[in-house]
Structure 1
Amino acid sequence: MSTIEEKVNAVRADVAKLHETLVRHNLVIWSRGNISPRVPGAE
């Protein structure tokens, strides 16, 4: 089973990939867009 830290690291990696995709498709300009993830099990 994953620890919360492992889950947070996985979510961070997902956010980085999503940010790259948003920039690549000109949907945001660098950090001028928001992605708000939730970490499973961290509520």
Structure 2
Amino acid sequence: MNTIITTVNMLLDIANCLRVMSGLLDLPAAYGEPIQSSRRQHLHI
């Protein structure tokens, strides 16, 4: 039982690391424009 829990925790840690790394790499392209465009849409609505 403990080995299953530790394995799941390890996989979650790896997934979090990958998400953070890709997030840092994609931050300007992925989050810069959509946030501004969504703000403009909210302002227009």
TM-score computed with the length of structure 2 as normaliser: 0.52
Q: Which has the higher contact order (CA 8 A, sep 6+)?
A: 1
Instruction: List 4+ stretches of structure 1 deviating above 6 A.
Output: none
Structure (1 or 2) with the greater helix fraction: 2
Report deviation, 1:8: 0.2
The residue type paired with residue 24 of structure 2 is: R
Q: What residue ranges of structure 2 are gaps of 5+ in the alignment?
A: 32-45
Give the AA of the match of 1:3: T
The percentage of aligned residue pairs carrying the same residue is 21
- Equivalences for 1:2-41 in 2 at 5 Å? 3-26=3-26, 29=31
Which AA in structure 1 matches 2:9? N
Q: How many corresponding residue pairs?
A: 28
CA RMSD of aligned residues (A): 2.1
